[in-house]
Amino acid sequence: MERDKFFKFLFYLYLFLSLSFLILKIDPLINNVRIFVSYLFDPSFSVGTINKFKDINYKIRSLLETEMNNIKLQEENRTLKARLMDFERLEKENLELKEILDVKKRVGYQGKFSKVISTNPRKPYSFIYIDKGKNDGIELYNPVVSYLNKEWVLIGRITEVYDDYSKVILITNSNFSFIADSGKSRGLLTGDFSNSLNYRYIDGEVKLGDEVFTSKASMTFPPFIKIGKIADVAFNPDPSLIYAKVSVFNIKDVDLVYVINFKPYKDTEQEI
């Protein structure tokens, strides 16, 4: 009687375990065990099978070594990926510089490339500082241009020169004004600490979209350097009161500049 009870208990226990295995679906875990065991024993019948038991130590060690090598390789892979990202950035930068160098050949002016090292955070369109100075051949009143949107545009001019750096007054500074030309007009550009200039005292016709260049009549800058485009025109019955807005560079895009080795005819004529 006792045996019968125990037998039934055992039967229900094994039934429960078997059904649990089936319901829980632990096959992925079992597969791992199968793979591990088959890797250790390689259970294929052959004369040399018995000898394969000798290799168990070696196989366990090689399994662990493989795992360690795998961890090392993953680490190396991460490092290489990080370096690759850096290379991609450098490649992009290199391409940009190559493009600038190609374009430099078309500038027609001698000069020096320089990096912007500082801007005025409160008035970003007033001054910038560049990393070239007297020791690099930079001179006072040299025009400064930058390569933006695949063309050279006027940025400003050197206003103070130090041994290793220089200060550049931007054309958008309200204390700066100079003569400029559009296709059919000539006028005076003045800054207002934004990315647009006021085009005043216009002689001739202006219309939206006209490109504005440095003028032949200006002694401040060499002629035909692009400044910007007419973005707005304020008409007035009195022609002397017509003025336009010229959209120019965005200071955020100005990173690399080119200081043209150009000396104005008379330094002192343009007061800043």
Partner 1 sequence: MIFIFFISMLFFHWFFSYGVNILSIGPDIIFIYVFWANYYFSPCLSLTFSFFCGIYADFYYTLPFGTHALAFSLMSFIINSVRKNIEIDSFLPRIVNFTISNYSIVFFLIFLNFIMTQSFGFDFRLMVQPILNIIFFELFNKLFLFVFKRRIDYVRI
Give me the residues that bind partner 1 (CB under 8 A), please: 3, 6-7, 10-11, 14-15, 17-22, 25-27, 30, 33-34, 37, 43-45
Q: How far apart are CA 165 and CA 130, in angstroms?
A: 6
Query: Shortest distance, CB of residue 66 to partner 1, whole angstroms?
Result: 23
Q: How far apart are CA 227 and CA 11, in angstroms?
A: 94
- Which residues touch 128 (CB under 8 Å, ≥6 apart)? 116, 118, 119, 120, 155, 156, 167, 168, 170, 251, 254, 257
What are φ and ψ of residue 270, in 5° steps? -95, 115
Q: How far apart are CA 79 and CA 77, in angstroms?
A: 5
Of 25 and 266, the one with the shorter C-beta distance to partner 1 is 25
Of 17 and 80, the one with the shorter C-beta distance to partner 1 is 17
Of 7 and 235, the one with the shorter C-beta distance to partner 1 is 7
For residue 232, the cross-strand partners are 245
Query: Shortest distance, CB of residue 48 to partner 1, whole angstroms?
Result: 13
Of 12 and 224, the one with the shorter C-beta distance to partner 1 is 12
Q: How far apart are CA 162 and CA 260, in angstroms?
A: 17
Query: Shortest distance, CB of residue 4 to partner 1, whole angstroms?
Result: 8
Query: Shortest distance, CB of residue 35 to partner 1, whole angstroms?
Result: 11
- Whether 228 contacts 151, CB under 8 Å: no
Of 27 and 88, the one with the shorter C-beta distance to partner 1 is 27
- 248: helix, coil or strand? coil
Query: Shortest distance, CB of residue 52 to partner 1, whole angstroms?
Result: 12
Query: Shortest distance, CB of residue 21 to partner 1, whole angstroms?
Result: 3
Q: How far apart are CA 15 and CA 267, in angstroms?
A: 103
For residue 226, the cross-strand partners are 153, 213
Q: How far apart are CA 111 and CA 124, in angstroms?
A: 25
Of 26 and 241, the one with the shorter C-beta distance to partner 1 is 26
Query: Shortest distance, CB of residue 16 to partner 1, whole angstroms?
Result: 10
Q: Which of 267, 269, 3, 22 is nearest to 14 (CA)?
A: 22
Of 22 and 80, the one with the shorter C-beta distance to partner 1 is 22
Q: How far apart are CA 209 and CA 143, in angstroms?
A: 25
